[in-house]
Amino acid sequence: MSEPWFDDRLAALRGRIAAAAGRSGRPAGAVRLVGAAKTVPAARLSAAVAAGLSDLGENRVQEAEGKIPAVTPRPVWHLIGHLQSNKARRAAALFDCIQTLDSERLAVALDRHVAELGRSAPLDVLIEVNVSGEAAKHGVEPALAADLIAAVRRACPHLSLRGLMTVGPLVEQPDEARPAYRRVAAMARDAGLAELSMGMSGDFEVAIEEGATMVRVGSALFGERG
């Protein structure tokens, strides 16, 4: 059963997404809302799914292992946090989409595990780009992204490369992130990639205006978390 407070919050967010999509010349349906589920209990996530949220993102494989079986009906699950190679097999078994692919080594490991697990279809992946260059953020350097894109396409038949993902730079005003998002959008266009996962609670409207097809929203959807 959904919760009234969440229904209202979800409707308000979808309205903001639709307005931002309109400003970019696209319909609201061109942008997918991924609920960032870090530390949110499974019961609350199930209520969110009942309210119509179809995509959830988790940061940690360990946390996802307990939540994914408990959230019903099953949404589309995205890994939106950094993935270490030694957790690649577990991630390949749990998630529908890995948004944080950042090296050829990880790509090869995921590809092998998908094959071993006998998944019925390739695993969707996005390449994470560290467009801000901040040391605290993960992702491939922009100058090396084209090489990683080529490597995945060449050597990983069990992965379906859908697009790029980035975490916006640390800025005081959302509009200051615009150049970074514009750069990643241009990279995706140049590579012929359709999906762009950009923008979080504080700046998702700017990201949508610059071409995001997925936004990862946590606190604006579920409230502040500890």
Give yes or no for a contact between 129 and 164, defined as CB atoms under 8 angstroms apart. yes
Per-residue pLDDT of the chain (226 residues; tens, 9 = 90+): 556 778 999 999 999 999 999 999 999 999 999 999 999 999 999 999 999 999 999 999 999 999 999 999 999 999 999 999 999 999 999 999 999 999 999 999 999 999 999 999 999 999 999 999 998 899 999 999 999 999 999 999 999 999 999 999 989 999 999 999 999 999 999 999 999 999 999 999 999 999 999 999 999 999 876 5
Residue with the two structure tokens 């990683």: 148
Q: How far apart are CA 130 and CA 153, in angstroms?
A: 20
DSSP type of residue 191 = H
Q: How far apart are CA 182 and CA 190, in angstroms?
A: 12
The model carries a pTM of: 0.96
Helix (H, G, I), strand (E, B) or coil at 183: helix
For helices 4-23 and 42-50, give the axis angle rounded to 10 degrees.
60
Give yes or no for a contact between 56 and 76, defined as CB atoms under 8 angstroms apart. yes
- Cα 53–chain centre separation: 14
Q: How far apart are CA 27 and CA 30, in angstroms?
A: 6
Other CB atoms within a 10 A radius of the CB of residue 142 amount to 18
Distances, alpha carbon 76 to alpha carbons 30, 153, 196, 219, in Å: 17, 23, 17, 19
Residue with the two structure tokens 């996530």: 45
Q: How far apart are CA 128 and CA 221, in angstroms?
A: 23
- Cα 82–chain centre separation: 11
4-222 belongs to which homologous superfamily? Alanine racemase (3.20.20.10)
Residue with the two structure tokens 């992702």: 139
- Show Cβ contacts of residue 136 under 8 Å, excluding neighbours closer than 6 positions: none
